[in-house]
Amino acid sequence: MFFFTVVVADRSSTLLVDQIDRLRRIYQTVQQRRPFETVAICILPDHLHAIWALPEVDADFSSRWNLIKGGFSRGLEARARSVSKLTKREKGIWQRRYWEHAIRDDADLERHIDYIHFNPVKHGLVARVADWLPSSFHRYVAQGVLPADWGGDMRDFAGQFGE
């Protein structure tokens, strides 16, 4: 099992939520061709976090992300690019690298799932985890794994921190 953070090149972009249907379509296509289980996921405007459980016989997450990033980029207008990106025929949409972390144990898995689900609140996009729709949090609630009010409501803490 692996945790990932995948980021677009322009951190001020809202591309992933603006093009969420495209991202979902490509993601599902790759998932059907090269199976993996999405344990948790959250799509934010400029990056996404995911935990994948890969088959024992095929732990090649790199090619899966390459297919997702390439499939998503195909058909989109190219962004400003460096000479290096031009040489490699990259559109300048994604950062080349991504963060990956091998999940060590159940506690590590739980910490990363919580991190993923709380991320939209951390970035100030919503006050409650439940208010961010492109997240596996809603699946966890539907399955009875997490309560709908998990993570609290940051509006309850307004003005209680700092000076």
| Axis crossing angle, helix 61-73 with helix 20-33, rounded to the nearest 10 | 140
Q: How confident is the model over 29-70, as pLDDT tens digits? A: 999 999 999 999 999 999 999 999 999 999 999 999 999 999
**Strand, helix or coil for residue 5:** strand
- Using CB atoms within 10 Å of the CB of residue 18, give its burial: 0 to 12 exposed, 13 to 18 middle, 19+ buried: exposed
Give the pTM.
Answer: 0.87
What are the structural domains of the chain? 2-157 (3.30.70.1290)
Residue 8 has pLDDT above 70, yes or no: yes
- Using CB atoms within 10 Å of the CB of residue 147, give its burial: 0 to 12 exposed, 13 to 18 middle, 19+ buried: exposed
**Backbone CA torsion sign across 58, 28, 33, 140:** positive
- Using CB atoms within 10 Å of the CB of residue 126, give its burial: 0 to 12 exposed, 13 to 18 middle, 19+ buried: middle
**98: confidence class by pLDDT, cuts 50, 70, 90:** very high
Calculate the alpha carbon distances from 81 to 26, 40, 86, 90 in Å.
Answer: 23, 32, 6, 8
Sheet holding 47-53, edge to edge: 37-43, 47-53, 2-7, 99-102
Decide the pairing of beta strands 37-43 and 99-102: unpaired
Q: Which pLDDT score, from 0 to 100, does residue 158 have?
A: 58
CA–CA–CA angle 79, 83, 85 (5° rounding): 55
**160: confidence class by pLDDT, cuts 50, 70, 90:** low
